[in-house]
């Protein structure tokens, strides 16, 4: 029999009161210590003038990053991606209705605004054509032909988690798109889905390097032996950090990543800011030729364009050597940031945005008679159908995205990519945080995102009166200029459009 004291209630209340007193007393003591620390330190003026309460400034500054996107920012004003862009990706990846009501919230007046010109007799559904197949590297031993318009840009295993790579791999395969490995090498998770893969060779040669960090032909052949590895992309630069190599914090260099990349576990991995052996346009063509000879597969390069005189030199050198020496494709990335961790000085101030660099590249290829030979892949904040359709109008053959697919995986733009604390499990190797990302569910979202993007790019194309998206041309879009009026894109770049017919 259990004896219950008749004074139990009084005792509980007494103990709670004592605990409360100790709690209040401890809080007061802690605040007093902070007060002394703040008023005597000389590093922070706010804390010295407003001891204790001045510390809340840092808390509110930190929390503002998250509250702005939910409570204060307008639908189309937030950066790097606004709420409207994110919501489109969320809806498309969940395969729910992407229509909106009561008119557009998009301001059509700012300079640089792009709009498409619908024709009076749009393409009927029965007249629409399937997306045309494009062959990359037709003279290679193993060329690559694909119909996919919208694909996954480079995100390395290591920078993103194994469950994220698995979901992307399976989703891309289901949708018939390709997945770029990023510069971190080929992992088992890239191969799980069984889809097409583009192997990226970064400046540190991860996955295809010898013990001294130099490019190894034997390892190139090992990677190329995988049937699903369709192309090789030599990364010269990327949008997040043009002119600087990759940065992988030591906390993310697990034993498995160490083995895949060929680097020490637990140590920061900093790639060179360029390929040491590539010091000129001629050197770049030599490297392309070497990789193509070793692999038998199409080879191109990825670049953020800033200075562009070297492209003239490159194209002249190609004509001197012969068309077979040309890269099979060029991926042009925008300078307005990306998934990689980088100094803000590079993300904010170095390189050209894709709105300028993509037409510049296409025009140069046309001017040098290389547009048929070299395919163009556009990368850089092309996360909605309109942005991708603009790139096709300007002259791209394909579009790729990284951050769009991060949103499809559930990214909430928490801006934690450069840390090991991603709350959605995408860019972290913390098992507890990774548990929130179900690769089966997210693979389906990746598939839906690709399929809905492709469908809605087609909707724009049919509104403009063409049978399929790759038939879009610059005269199908207009851009608002400084006087408030819009002009056709082909009037801004007439030479390229005049010659474009020969590239079809």
Task: Output the pLDDT for position 69.
Answer: 59
Give the Å distances, CA to CA, from 132 to 128, 145, 148: 11, 10, 9
Task: Output the pLDDT for position 60.
Answer: 64
- The two tokens of residue 429 are 């190797």
Residue whose tokens read 């037409």 = 359
- For residues 95 and 454, give the distance between their C-alpha atoms in angstroms, rounded to a whole number: 13
Task: Output the pLDDT for position 161.
Answer: 84
Q: Which of 299, 357, 310, 315 is nearest to 333 (CA)?
A: 357
Task: Examine residue 80 and say whether the peptide bond preceding it is cis (omega within 30 degrees of 0).
Answer: yes
| pTM of structure | 0.83
- For residues 330 and 352, give the distance between their C-alpha atoms in angstroms, rounded to a whole number: 16
- For residues 370 and 503, give the distance between their C-alpha atoms in angstroms, rounded to a whole number: 9
Biggest alpha carbon–alpha carbon distance for the chain: 102
| 478: phi then psi, degrees, rounded to nearest 5 | -130, 160
Task: Output the pLDDT for position 325.
Answer: 96
Give the Å distances, CA to CA, from 29 to 112, 120, 188, 256: 58, 76, 55, 48
Say whether pLDDT at 454 is over 50: yes
3-state secondary structure of 8: helix
Task: Output the pLDDT for position 503.
Answer: 41
- The two tokens of residue 43 are 């590093």
Give the residue, 290 or 40, on which the prediction is more confident: 290
3-state secondary structure of 144: strand
In contact, 241 and 347? CB cutoff 8 Å: yes
Least confidently predicted of 103-107, 152-156, 384-388? 103-107
- For residues 182 and 477, give the distance between their C-alpha atoms in angstroms, rounded to a whole number: 32
Say whether pLDDT at 457 is over 90: yes
Q: Which of 148, 109, 112 is nearest to 353 (CA)?
A: 112
Residues 6+ positions from 71 with CB-CB distance below 8 Å: none
Least confidently predicted of 79-83, 482-486, 489-493? 79-83
Average pLDDT over residues 134-142: 95
* Cα 319 versus chain centre, distance: 33
Average pLDDT over residues 486-492: 89
> Which strand (E) or helix (H) includes residue 206?
none
Q: In the chain, helix, strand, coil percent, each to 5? A: 45, 10, 45
Q: pLDDT tens digits for 310-365?
A: 999 999 999 999 999 999 999 999 887 666 566 777 777 788 999 999 999 999 99
- For residues 134 and 145, give the distance between their C-alpha atoms in angstroms, rounded to a whole number: 5
Task: Output the pLDDT for position 335.
Answer: 82
Least confidently predicted of 324-338, 409-423, 441-455? 409-423
Average pLDDT over residues 25-48: 79
Average pLDDT over residues 174-183: 95
Say whether pLDDT at 134 is over 70: yes
Q: Which of 216, 226, 236 is nearest to 186 (CA)?
A: 226
Say whether pLDDT at 74 is over 60: no
Could you tell me the pLDDT band of residue 65, with boundaries at 50, 70 and 90? low
3-state secondary structure of 181: coil
Task: Output the pLDDT for position 18.
Answer: 74
- For residues 357 and 404, give the distance between their C-alpha atoms in angstroms, rounded to a whole number: 20
What does the DSSP 8-state code read for residue 424? T
Residue whose tokens read 């010269």 = 236
Could you tell me the pLDDT band of residue 504, with boundaries at 50, 70 and 90? very low
- For residues 366 and 281, give the distance between their C-alpha atoms in angstroms, rounded to a whole number: 19
Give the residue, 498 or 359, on which the prediction is more confident: 359
> Around Cβ 401, how many Cβ atoms within 10 Å?
27
* Cα 85 versus chain centre, distance: 14
Task: Output the pLDDT for position 320.
Answer: 96
Task: Output the pLDDT for position 499.
Answer: 43
Could you tell me the pLDDT band of residue 417, with boundaries at 50, 70 and 90? low
In contact, 404 and 385? CB cutoff 8 Å: no
Query: Which superfamily does CATH assign the domain made up of 148-469 to?
Result: Aldolase class I (3.20.20.70)
Task: Output the pLDDT for position 47.
Answer: 75
Give the residue, 214 or 24, on which the prediction is more confident: 214
> What is the number of residues in the chain?
504
């Amino acid at each position: 029999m259990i004896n219950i004291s008749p004074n139990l209630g009084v005792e509980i209340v007494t103990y709670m009161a004592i605990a409360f007193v100790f709690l209040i007393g401890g809080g007061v003591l802690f605040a007093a210590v902070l007060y002394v620390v703040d008023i005597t330190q000389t590093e922070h003026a706010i804390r010295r003038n407003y001891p204790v309460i001045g510390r809340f400034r840092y808390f509110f500054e930190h929390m503002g990053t998250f509250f702005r996107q939910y409570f204060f920012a307008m639908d189309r004003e937030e950066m790097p991606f606004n709420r409207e862009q994110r919501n489109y990706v969320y809806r498309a990846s969940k395969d729910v209705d992407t229509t909106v009501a009561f008119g557009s919230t998009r301001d059509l007046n700012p300079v640089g605004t792009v709009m498409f010109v619908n024709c009076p007799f749009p393409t009927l559904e029965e007249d629409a054509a399937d997306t045309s197949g494009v062959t990359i590297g037709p003279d290679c031993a193993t060329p690559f032909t694909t119909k996919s318009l919208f694909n996954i840009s480079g995100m390395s295993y290591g920078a993103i988690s194994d469950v994220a790579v698995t979901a992307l791999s399976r989703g891309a395969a289901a949708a018939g798109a390709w997945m770029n490995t990023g510069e971190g090498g080929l992992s088992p998770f890239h191969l799980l889905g069984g889809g097409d893969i583009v192997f990226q060779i970064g400046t540190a040669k991860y996955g295809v390097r010898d013990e001294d960090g130099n490019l190894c032909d034997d390892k190139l052949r090992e990677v190329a032996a995988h049937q699903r590895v369709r192309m090789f992309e030599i990364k010269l630069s990327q949008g997040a950090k043009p002119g600087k190599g990759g940065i992988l914090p030591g906390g993310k260099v697990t034993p498995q990543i160490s083995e895949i990349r060929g680097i020490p576990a637990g140590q920061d991995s900093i790639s060179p800011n360029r390929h040491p052996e590539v010091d000129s346009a001629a050197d770049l063509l030599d490297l392309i030729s070497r990789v193509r000879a070793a692999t038998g597969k199409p080879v191109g390069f990825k670049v953020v364009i800033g200075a562009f005189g070297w492209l003239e030199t490159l194209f002249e050198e190609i004509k001197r050597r012969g068309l077979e020496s040309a890269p099979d494709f060029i991926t042009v990335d925008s300078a307005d940031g990306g998934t990689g961790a980088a100094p803000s000085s590079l993300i904010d101030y170095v390189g050209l945005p894709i709105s300028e660099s993509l037409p510049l590249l296409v025009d140069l290829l046309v001017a040098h008679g290389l547009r048929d030979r070299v395919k163009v892949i556009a990368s850089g904040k092309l996360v909605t159908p309109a942005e991708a359709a603009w790139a096709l109008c300007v002259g791209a053959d394909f579009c790729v995205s990284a951050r769009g697919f991060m949103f499809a995986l559930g990214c909430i733009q928490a801006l934690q990519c450069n840390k090991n604390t991603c709350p959605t499990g995408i860019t972290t190797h913390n098992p507890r945080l990774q548990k929130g990302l179900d690769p089966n569910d997210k693979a389906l979202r990746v598939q839906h995102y690709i399929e809905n993007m492709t469908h809605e790019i087609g909707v724009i194309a049919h509104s403009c009166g063409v049978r399929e998206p790759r038939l879009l041309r610059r005269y199908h879009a207009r851009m608002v200029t400084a006087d408030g009026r819009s002009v056709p894109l082909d009037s801004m770049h007439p030479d390229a459009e005049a010659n474009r017919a020969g590239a079809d």
